[in-house]
């Protein structure tokens, strides 16, 4: 399949993929970066099967969309590499060789080419307090903010706590979203027709942006709209109920008190995230990388498991090697939720009724590729660092005993103790 014969646009890139939008189509192409070694077809096949056969059915109970492998003409790959060198960020160009295999995936930021499309991307991160942090009553995300500040990866601590978003309680969920709007980092983006119009790098007046749309007369209704979708099963039509708009943005505490309905999308995501809690990371073989993916897929094939069937999902989660579950959990903790909506009504999509208006929405999830076993070792090391940082700060801070409870005070404390 040739990409160059079509109009295309560079969207963004991570460590492994470059995403290109193919204009006037409903799909994107993910180019695969090669780091000196040619990527084996089997590795790409396993990654695509992991997304299609494991992660999507576990999250949605069915295969709501599919990724597929395509082959690009060799001359296209060379020309794309050259053309992209003028567009890509310089720090990413250390990897400029691409595989002639690529992944064709649905464009999750649009509903249809014939209408105005908006898409909110939320990277919610870990929505519970993991067992190693229970005694500190802090979640991984909130603790990591302090490490990121110390390492100058961020300019300021975010008041967003994933436990607020996963609480199922509207006031707390609203607080979570407002804190993400205030300090988006890489956890919050808004797209219009596939282009980013709000993010960490392009912060504008979000309220004005939203209320300019013909659908939302206030930011409060927009937040209710997003929350109702997250609390739904992700595929049903919804009638929106406007809730109270008075929110206290700061708490500085991580409350683990979740009241999510069992069939809600957020509950399904949280359940997958919690799969890591029963496995001891010390039992991991550090020499392994991605070998487990083919073993997992083979085990499923041998047992004839189809995870779009509820019985098979139950059997899978109850009997499969716990090491696989912890790797599925790692993906669920780092994925992004995409809520795409259009003011125009589309019959093939579910709707949200707001007063006498109705709009279509599509809920999907991206970044579902398998993680390497090495990422678990990295996580273990980061946990140790976070605990050391927490204990160092709380041990040294005598005057300000509320450190880690009041982020603004703690920013000063970090600077003062230079830890």
Q: How far is the CB of 254 from Zn ion (least distance, A)?
A: 3
Q: Closer to Zn ion at the Cβ: 315 or 405? A: 405
Q: What are residue 18's DSSP bridge partners?
A: 13, 31
Q: Closer to Zn ion at the Cβ: 142 or 154? A: 142
Q: Closer to Zn ion at the Cβ: 121 or 164? A: 164
- Kindly compute the dihedral angle of the four CA atoms of residues 167, 168, 174, 175, in this order, to the nearest 10 degrees: -10
Separation between Cα atoms, residue 119 and residue 190, nearest integer Å: 6
Q: Closer to Zn ion at the Cβ: 142 or 190? A: 142
Q: Closer to Zn ion at the Cβ: 125 or 268? A: 125
Query: Which CA distances in Å does 214 have to 205, 208, 344, 389?
Result: 17, 12, 11, 47
**255 burial level (CB within 10 Å; 0-12, 13-18, 19+):** middle
Q: How far is the CB of 248 from Zn ion (least distance, A)?
A: 15
Q: How far is the CB of 327 from Zn ion (least distance, A)?
A: 23
Q: Closer to Zn ion at the Cβ: 119 or 143? A: 143
Q: How far is the CB of 257 from Zn ion (least distance, A)?
A: 12
Q: How far is the CB of 379 from Zn ion (least distance, A)?
A: 17
Query: Which CA distances in Å does 359 have to 5, 48, 68, 216, 323?
Result: 34, 31, 30, 11, 42
Q: Please provide the DSSP assignment of 135-201 as one string.
A: GGT--HHHHHHHHHHHTTS-SS-----HHHHTT--HHHHHHHHHHHHHS-TTTEEEEETTEEEESSS
Q: How far is the CB of 150 from Zn ion (least distance, A)?
A: 17
Q: Please provide the DSSP assignment of 268-320 as one string.
A: HHHHHHGGGGGS-GGGS-TT-SSHHHHHHHHHHHHTT--TTSHHHHHHHHHHS
Q: Closer to Zn ion at the Cβ: 161 or 227? A: 161
Q: Report yes or no: 120 and 389 within 8 Å, Cβ to Cβ.
A: no
Residues that bind Zn ion (CB under 5 A): 139, 142, 161, 254
Q: How far is the CB of 334 from Zn ion (least distance, A)?
A: 16
């Amino acid at each position: 399949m040739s990409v160059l014969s079509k109009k295309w646009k560079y969207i963004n890139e991570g460590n492994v993929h470059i995403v290109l939008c193919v204009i006037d189509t409903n799909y994107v192409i993910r180019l695969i970066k090669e780091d000196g070694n040619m990527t084996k077809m089997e590795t790409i096949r396993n990654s695509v099967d992991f997304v299609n056969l494991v992660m999507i059915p576990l999250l949605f109970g069915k295969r709501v969309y599919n990724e597929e492998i395509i082959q690009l003409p060799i001359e296209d790959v060379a020309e794309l590499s050259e053309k992209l060198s003028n567009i890509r960020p310089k720090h990413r160009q250390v990897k400029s060789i691409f595989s002639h295999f690529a992944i064709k995936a649905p464009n999750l930021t649009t509903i249809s080419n014939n209408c105005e499309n908006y898409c909110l991307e939320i990277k919610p991160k870990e929505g519970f307090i993991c067992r190693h942090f229970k005694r500190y009553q802090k979640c991984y995300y909130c603790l990591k903010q302090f490490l990121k500040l110390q390492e100058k990866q961020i300019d300021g601590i975010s008041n967003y706590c994933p436990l607020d978003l996963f609480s199922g309680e509207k006031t707390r969920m609203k607080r979570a979203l407002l804190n993400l709007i205030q300090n988006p980092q890489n956890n919050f983006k808004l797209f219009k027709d596939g282009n980013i119009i709000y993010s960490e790098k392009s912060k504008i007046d979000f309220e004005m942006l939203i209320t300019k749309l013909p659908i939302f007369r206030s930011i409060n209704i927009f937040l209710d709209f997003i929350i109702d979708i997250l609390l739904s099963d992700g595929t049903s039509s919804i009638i929106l109920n406007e809730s109270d708009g008075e929110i206290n943005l700061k708490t500085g505490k991580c409350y683990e008190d979740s009241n999510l309905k069992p069939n809600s999308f957020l509950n399904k995501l949280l359940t997958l995230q919690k799969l890591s809690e029963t496995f001891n990371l010390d039992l991991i073989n550090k020499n392994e990388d991605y070998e487990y993916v083919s073993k997992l897929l083979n085990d499923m094939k041998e047992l004839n498991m189809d995870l779009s069937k509820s019985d098979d999902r139950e059997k899978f989660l109850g009997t499969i090697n716990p090491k696989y579950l912890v790797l599925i959990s790692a993906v669920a903790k780092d994925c992004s939720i995409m809520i795409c909506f259009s003011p125009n009504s589309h019959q093939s999509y579910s709707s949200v009724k707001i007063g006498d208006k109705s709009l279509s929405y599509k809920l999907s999830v991206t970044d579902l590729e398998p993680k390497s076993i090495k990422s678990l070792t990295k996580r273990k090391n980061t946990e140790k660092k976070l605990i050391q940082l927490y204990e160092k700060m709380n041990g040294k801070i005598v005057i300000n005993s509320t450190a880690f409870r009041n982020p603004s005070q703690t920013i000063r404390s970090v600077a003062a103790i230079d830890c």
